[in-house]
Amino acid sequence: MKKNEYILQDTRWVDLTKPTREELEGLAEELKIPQRILSNALDPEHLPKYEVINETTIIFLRIFDPQKTSNAANIQELTTKVTMIIQDDLVLTIHRLDPDFLVDLRSKVESIQENKLSQQDLIKKIVTACIVTFDEPLNILENQILDFEDKIFKSSKNKAIIRDGYYLKRKASAFRKVLKFSLKILDSLNANPDFVWKDFQAVRENAERFLFYTDDFLENVSGLLNLHISLSAQKTNEASYKTNEVMRVLTVFSIFFLPLNFLTGLYGMNFEFMPELKHPRGYIMVLVVMGGVSTAIFAWIQRKGWLKNPED
């Protein structure tokens, strides 16, 4: 565990990075914080939340995780938790990673640039910085959606496109959920008499803007996936239509040749005594009959309209 402790204007700030359960148990006795409150800080499943237990305020925040894997797609994979535990003269922050904004804030405090921070100012800075961590990931997500849109019209790899769309949709959904719960935290802080609307006006506007983007991204990805499925279905229908056209033409030609094959098969039998077998004009007669049969079939097919293009 990495522990940093600072004395500010009206509060003490204790910052913990990657503490163990045993270390938190000892800290609970030292700081007079109920053990069950600190135990919740180690639970990675918490969504952003604001709650008050006795006289202790607990804020669970989530920030974008820069160490995420490339196929991360849910809240736990895309974000990491920052827990704030607030008492009258204490602010305790607990986190698994050590985000850049906390490193910068500690540096400023150590260099006596921010040693006059009040407890409210410290809370505002941390909450604001947590929400701002989603700015760059949302820009990246927007570019990925634009690339995904190009793939739909240029690529024929259905499985790859659907997989990419699935991950983009889940990312947008995860960001949307985190930002929605973060806005509820801001509402709870605004209801606190120690804060006023202007304290969180800028960060709330940013959060609402980010939420608007995620709603738009989610809608766009869903629409693009539906478009891709429609285009794939259209290509399948076109292929089926071409196959049916080929079969239709072959079927029409087979109608011509079936009776002709019957006649040639009939007179191709090797019996010694057959009618017209030795007739001097038998060959010509059979040809005339074949021509007549073909003409009759053609007239019948033409009347049925089977030779016309279905689109006409």
Cα 143 off chain centre by = 13
Query: In 3D, which of 171, 124, 184 has the Cα closest to residue 143?
Result: 171
pLDDT at 259: 84
Cβ-proximal residues to 214 (8 Å cutoff; 6+ apart), any chain: 138, 172, 175, 176, 179
| Cα separation, 123 vs 80, whole angstroms | 18
Q: How many residues does this entry show for the chain?
A: 312
| Cα separation, 63 vs 305, whole angstroms | 68
| Structural domains of the chain in order of their starting residue, each with its CATH number | 1-114 (3.30.460.20), 250-304 (1.20.58)
Q: What is the pLDDT along the chain (312 residues), one digit of tens a residue?
A: 888 988 888 888 999 998 888 888 788 777 778 777 787 787 878 889 898 888 888 899 999 988 887 778 888 889 999 999 988 888 999 998 888 999 999 888 887 655 678 888 888 899 999 999 999 999 999 998 888 888 887 765 666 788 888 888 989 999 999 999 998 888 888 777 766 656 677 888 888 999 999 999 989 988 888 888 777 777 777 788 788 878 877 887 788 788 888 888 877 777 777 777 777 887 788 888 888 888 888 888 888 777 776 665
